[in-house]
Structure 1
């Protein structure tokens, strides 16, 4: 049963729902447009484990092997109690073969980092992959979340922070705008830029998974944009990434605008 509906150093800060301590480590981004760097993962221990060669594992492998995705897919395979639910959501500029390749990469990484976990999430630069033994459609996920930011600081943090929030808020409005002129690949996704002092520009992007409603997408983005002071105060670049939505901003282009 199946259905589908510039190199910079950055800091990654996982936000754990239960554990109070925060983990910090250095993450390197190789290039602007072509990188598909691993970002973070979360093994959802509450969903339990499956055994090797079990029906759950067979259903999971069947779901992945029979899936070809261009930009987004929500899939279901098998019957209770061994049903597997999956979502793959690619970044708005990483569609087609690039998205399909990201699925293969993400699944391989998920199996390595969360072996035998029935539920898990992995984030890459170009896609998010989540598997679960229970449905999570129409559920806004802000619990599974992390921050990334550039270690370099701007000269005027207050002004820069205000402009960053203004840009991301504007992009949120566009991303959640309903209209037949928006293609499926661009739904809940919006890139944009803003002029800064001199020749500098601020580049931004917001995106939600297409699992949630339009109103929840706006709520999700408004919530994480509100965390800018905690995430990226005065930093040249940063992002907040959750299971349902994410934003990123930089002072250099980081999206493939030629696609």
Structure 2
């Protein structure tokens, strides 16, 4: 079910035949990568613990976090956390906290960790990466269903993703670098088809770095998802997604999270 490929320092995990039960587990860890293992170092371990606590607290207020502990010394650690732009604050904090519990169990003694849940992402490292687009890890989920008119569909996807990417990258630094949208392909085959899309960068990236990340992800999307009716790119610095169904969470009552959205990838 999974194929691991390496291309220009980007790693892509293809999961093209996922079941609904697998995709529904949106509260669980999807992917993680642990590296830079260290031996007993109480100061560094304490800094990592403080960093994770601070990022969980920040995400409750802002749905993202940028933090560091250690004052730039040998035991310094840096971190970011990001939740999808459609999440409410409490759900974001729960997602980040869950990711922290996951990595403390799975990656003990690691000086660098990437952790992806379906709706949030967490990364810390003993090397300062904040503000830099890190072309390291990504995963691609794609639908196994092909569009009936691939050329028209791909054009519609390109136009929509171009719009949401530009607005996400150009968003003010004080807000989430996130944008969603939809586009209707009128007269498509036997009827109209609506494409839903979103783009988001981690908050630490400036507009130019965010653009680089999104454009690279769009290139991957075109290469590996061309003609597929759904595609999702998880990355270290940004995420892209389009579907032919409404996948964003809708909150009907303030403070109350709506039921989980439909599966992230349409099984063919």
Q: Please confirm whether the aligned pair reaches a TM-score higher than 0.5, indicating the same fold.
A: yes
Q: Secondary structure at the match of 1:94?
A: coil
How far apart are the structure 1 equivalents of 2:11 and 2:119? 28
Q: Secondary structure at the match of 2:124?
A: strand
Unpaired runs of at least 5, structure 2 = 253-268
How far apart are the structure 1 equivalents of 2:202 and 2:9? 26
Q: Give per-residue Cα distances to partners, 1:92-140, cap 9 Å, x unaligned.
A: 0113111111111111222333332110101112111001012111211
Runs of 4+ in 1 over 6 A off after TM superposition: 18-22, 31-34
Is contact 1:189-1:208 (8 Å) kept? yes
Is contact 2:12-2:139 (8 Å) kept? no
Aligned residues: 242
How far apart are the structure 2 equivalents of 1:224 and 1:20? 10
Is contact 1:50-1:117 (8 Å) kept? yes
Q: Work out which of the residue numbers 217, 223, 237 in structure 1 matches 2:216.
A: 223
Distance 1:83 1:28, change over 3 A: farther
**TM score, norm. by length of structure 1:** 0.82
Pairwise CA distance, 1:18:
7.9
Pairwise CA distance, 1:175:
1.6
Please give the root-mean-square deviation of Cα atoms over the aligned residues, in Å: 2.9
Q: Tell me what 1:126 maps to.
A: 119
Distance 1:118 1:35, change over 3 A: same
Is contact 1:17-1:143 (8 Å) kept? no
Unpaired runs of at least 5, structure 1 = 1-10
Pairwise CA distance, 1:258:
3.1
Q: Work out which of the residue numbers 160, 163, 169 in structure 2 matches 1:170.
A: 163
How far apart are the structure 2 equivalents of 1:178 and 1:126? 20
